[in-house]
Amino acid sequence: MAFDECVENPAAYDYIKASCERTLRWLVRCQDELARLGSAQMLFGINQGGTYEDLRIAHMQEISKLDLPGYAIGGLAVGEPKEEMYRIVAAVEPHMPREKPRYLMGVGTPGNILEAVRLGVDLFDCVMPSRNARHGHLFTWGGVINLNNKKHERDDRPIDDACDCPACQNYSRAYLRHLKRVGEMLSHRLCVMHNLYFYNTLMQRIRRSIEEGSFGEFYGQHAEMLDGRA
Confidence of residue 179 (pLDDT cuts 50, 70, 90): very high
Based on the fold, state whether residues 31 and 122 are members of the same structural domain: yes
Based on the fold, state whether residues 157 and 62 are members of the same structural domain: no
Whole domain around residue 35: which residue ranges?
13-126
Q: Kindly give, in sequence order, each residue whose CB lies less than 8 Å from that of residue 147, ignoring residues fewer than 6 positions away.
A: 136, 137, 138, 159, 173, 176, 177, 180, 191
Tell me which of 75, 94, 126 is where a domain ends. Answer: 126
Predicted confidence at residue 5, as pLDDT, reads: 95
Based on the fold, state whether residues 106 and 196 are members of the same structural domain: no
Average pLDDT over residues 64-83: 96
- Average pLDDT of every residue of the chain: 97
Tell me which of 78, 93, 126 is where a domain ends. Answer: 126
Tell me which of 107, 126, 145 is where a domain ends. Answer: 126
Confidence of residue 9 (pLDDT cuts 50, 70, 90): confident
Based on the fold, state whether residues 133 and 121 are members of the same structural domain: no
Residue 5 inside a domain? The answer is no
Residue 1 inside a domain? The answer is no
Question: Based on the structure, what is the number of domains in the chain?
Answer: 2
Average pLDDT over residues 92-118: 97
Count of alpha carbons within 13 angstroms of residue 88, beta-carbon side = 26
Based on the fold, state whether residues 135 and 58 are members of the same structural domain: no
The model's pTM: 0.94
Predicted confidence at residue 125, as pLDDT, reads: 96
Least confident of 6-10, 27-31, 156-160, 210-214: 6-10
Q: Where are the alpha helices (DSSP H) in the chain?
A: 13-37, 53-64, 82-92, 110-118, 128-134, 166-170, 173-181, 185-212, 215-222
CB 153 within 8 A of CB 174: yes
